[in-house]
Amino acid sequence: MSSEPNYLLLGLQLLGAIAILMYGMKVMSEALQKMAGPQLRHVLGAMTGNRFTGVLTGMFVTVSVQSSAATTVMTVSFVNAALLTLAQAISVIMGANIGTTLSAWIMSAGFSFNLAMVFWPAFLIGILLIQTGKHRYFGDFLFGISFLLFALYTLKATGVDMDLGNNEAVKGFFQGFGTNYGTILLFLLIGAVLTALAQSSAALMAITMVLCSTGVLNIFQGIALVMGENIGTTVTANLAAMGGNVQARRAALAHLFFNLFGVFWVLIVFFPFVRLACNLVGVDPQAADIDKSQLSFALAMFHTLFNVTNTLILIWFIPQIEKLVSRLIQPKPTVEDEESRLQFISSGIMKTPEISVLQAQKETHLFVERMQRMLEMTNDLVTDSTDFDEKFARIQKYEGISDNMENEIGRYLGEVGEAHLSDDTKRKIRRMLRQIGELESIGDSCYNIARSLRRRKESEVEFTSKQQDSMGELMSLVKQAMDQMQLVITGKTTDKNASMFLESEINRLRDKLRQDTIADVDAHLYSYASGTIFTDLVNEYEKLGDYIINIVESKLG
């Protein structure tokens, strides 16, 4: 007489297998991103307005990284950074929905074949590659896929051990729901809520396959759960977009609309559509002696057919979808003054470290633009003292902005740096950390210049025409250096010599002005106080030149 299964132990085993599955997907996805990260960025970044190319790109990237969530978050990130238009993003997301169906086919194969002879050797080879350091990213990938296959093997074994198909209480409970539209809607809602909470459609797909393959759920109830999972998976992108800009939120909403529309039309033709998907894999959903081991393939086929058909319908209406989400999400009124809030980085978009670095680069470019603006305001204060207090307050505000941007970008890069990154990405992070530190120092120097000018105003010290001309020459050199630095940081030039020349000219002029000031004070051409303030300004402008060349060197080496 067989003993009663220990459902508590088997339940924990089931949850543990799901956790291993999610971890394996994460490791595999991140390893693939490291191996092809720059290429993936170039593929997405080089998108044209062709909607069909966009769909193919989304499919390719999702198949490559094995995560539609990663592709969708990546796409939202690109929209947030203004590297993709909203229309391009919508087509990529459509393709991502098709690409993710490969995961369902991998799982269905795992429920139908003995994987033990695959994942143990893969574990061994993966760990050897990681430990030896040779092809370690490929080793990470093997390690991740080994966990994935091991989890599927464990899920299959756990489902068999549970023997829920022969548990009359469990079977009776689910059979009591029947297969009417009310049941379909209930299971759809359950699938959506559970996927949103777990933030992993793959995990819920695996559970659905376990329940169907053990005979607990019939194929109609299982497919209703899959439909709900398609809605629940959109939560990941919408959470990622919450801290992003308007376009990013619109892209995430388009993803939700795409899946909601698909569920809507499938519900209208639900039973014929399910029978079509089942017939394509040789399963009769109405048969009394249905082969339960084949139901996982039926689920995978429905998932594929659902996303492909939905894309074929909606690909012709991308402009209309763009208008709809643009109307639903309106931009908030913007204040003319710059805010210290970051524009391209948000804590929600931390799913793909390689792409997060690109976000930080865009934020650094914005940091450079704001420091250019701050330098222009400072130069204006030197040459024109009208509305002094108002101009000084604006410079003071920008000094606070520079402090905040350094802290926020640095904190974000620190969080990204905690992930397992490629060597190239680690170098980029080190360079950016140096760049934002030097940019914050530029803000400090500009504020110090403003404070010296305030001291001059309070002391009622006036500069001679010679001092004003000399200061104008120095300011012009620093501005040229800053403009050249901006070209270097944004990748528009790799000419280091131009920056080196300007730095040497700034140093030469500083030395000359110091000597001239000493001579002029000795000759009583102006007061000692005037000479001191003038020298302080010269020194601060020379410091600006130092910070600028440091940024150029950190970028170009």
What is residue 476's predicted lDDT score, i.e. its pLDDT? Answer: 94
What is residue 543's predicted lDDT score, i.e. its pLDDT? Answer: 94
Greatest pairwise CA separation for the chain in angstroms: 114
CB 275 within 8 A of CB 285: yes
Q: Is residue 467 part of a domain?
A: yes
* Cα separation, 59 vs 71, whole angstroms: 9
Q: Is the pLDDT of residue 2 over 80?
A: no
For the segment 158-169, the average pLDDT, to the nearest whole number, is 64
Q: Which DSSP string do the residues of 209-249 spell out, in sequence order?
A: HHHHHTTSS-HHHHHHHHHHHHHHTHHHHHHHHTTS-HHHH
Same domain, 545 and 458: yes
Look at the chain and report how many structural domains it folds into. Answer: 2
Q: Is the pLDDT of residue 349 over 50?
A: no
* Two structure tokens written together for 8: 């508590």
Same domain, 244 and 391: no
3 state SS for 452-489: HHHHHHHHCCCCCHHHHHHHHHHHHHHHHHHHHHHHHH
Reported as a single tens digit per residue, the pLDDT across 188-204 is: 998 888 887 766 677 77
Q: Is residue 338 part of a domain?
A: no
Q: Is the pLDDT of residue 176 over 70?
A: no
Range of the domain at 400: 353-556
Q: Is residue 386 part of a domain?
A: yes
Q: Is residue 87 part of a domain?
A: yes
For the segment 400-417, the average pLDDT, to the nearest whole number, is 87
Last residue of a domain, one of 291, 326, 361: 326
Same domain, 271 and 321: yes
Number of residues written out for the chain: 557
Same domain, 285 and 383: no
The residue among 334 and 354 whose pLDDT is bigger is: 354
Same domain, 146 and 272: yes
Same domain, 311 and 163: yes
Q: Is the pLDDT of residue 350 over 50?
A: no
pLDDT band at 68 (very low <50, low <70, confident <90, very high): low
* Cα separation, 359 vs 356, whole angstroms: 5
Reduce the DSSP state of residue 383 to 3 states and report it: helix
Q: Comparing C-alpha atoms, which of 73, 70, 68, 58 is closest to residue 33?
A: 70
End-to-end, the C-alpha distance of the chain in Å comes to: 75
CA distances from 541 to 166, 349, 468 (A): 82, 38, 14
Which residues, including other chains, have CB under 8 Å from residue 68's CB and lie 6 or more apart?
A: 62, 96, 97, 99, 100, 201, 233
Same domain, 363 and 288: no
pLDDT band at 169 (very low <50, low <70, confident <90, very high): low
* Two structure tokens written together for 501: 């020349």
Task: Pick left, alpha or beta for residue 282 (phi over 0 → left; psi -120 to 50 → alpha; otherwise beta).
Answer: left
What is residue 435's predicted lDDT score, i.e. its pLDDT? Answer: 94
Last residue of a domain, one of 272, 291, 326: 326
Q: Which DSSP string do the residues of 501-553 spell out, in sequence order?
A: HHHHHHHHHHHHHHHHHHHHHHTTSS-HHHHHHHHHHHHHHHHHHHHHHHHHH
Q: Is residue 345 part of a domain?
A: no
Q: Comparing C-alpha atoms, which of 354, 468, 492 is closest to residue 70?
A: 354
Q: Which DSSP string do the residues of 337-374 spell out, in sequence order?
A: SPPSS-SS--TT--S-HHHHHHHHHHHHHHHHHHHHHH
The residue among 169 and 414 whose pLDDT is bigger is: 414
Q: Is residue 178 part of a domain?
A: yes
The percentage of residues in the chain with a pLDDT greater than 70, rounded to a whole number, is 78
Same domain, 283 and 379: no
Helix (H) or strand (E) run with residue 336 in it: none
CB 281 within 8 A of CB 297: yes
For the segment 416-424, the average pLDDT, to the nearest whole number, is 73
SS3 content of the chain, % helix, strand, coil (to 5): 80, 0, 20
Same domain, 253 and 397: no
* Cα separation, 529 vs 527, whole angstroms: 5
Q: Is residue 331 part of a domain?
A: no
For the segment 467-484, the average pLDDT, to the nearest whole number, is 93
Same domain, 320 and 358: no
Same domain, 145 and 293: yes
Q: Is residue 334 part of a domain?
A: no
What is residue 545's predicted lDDT score, i.e. its pLDDT? Answer: 93
Range with the largest mean pLDDT of 40-54, 221-235, 404-418, 538-552:
538-552
| CATH label of the domain that carries residue 531 | 1.20.58.220
Q: What is the mean pLDDT of the chain?
A: 80
Last residue of a domain, one of 307, 326, 345: 326
* Two structure tokens written together for 102: 């490969």
Same domain, 245 and 117: yes
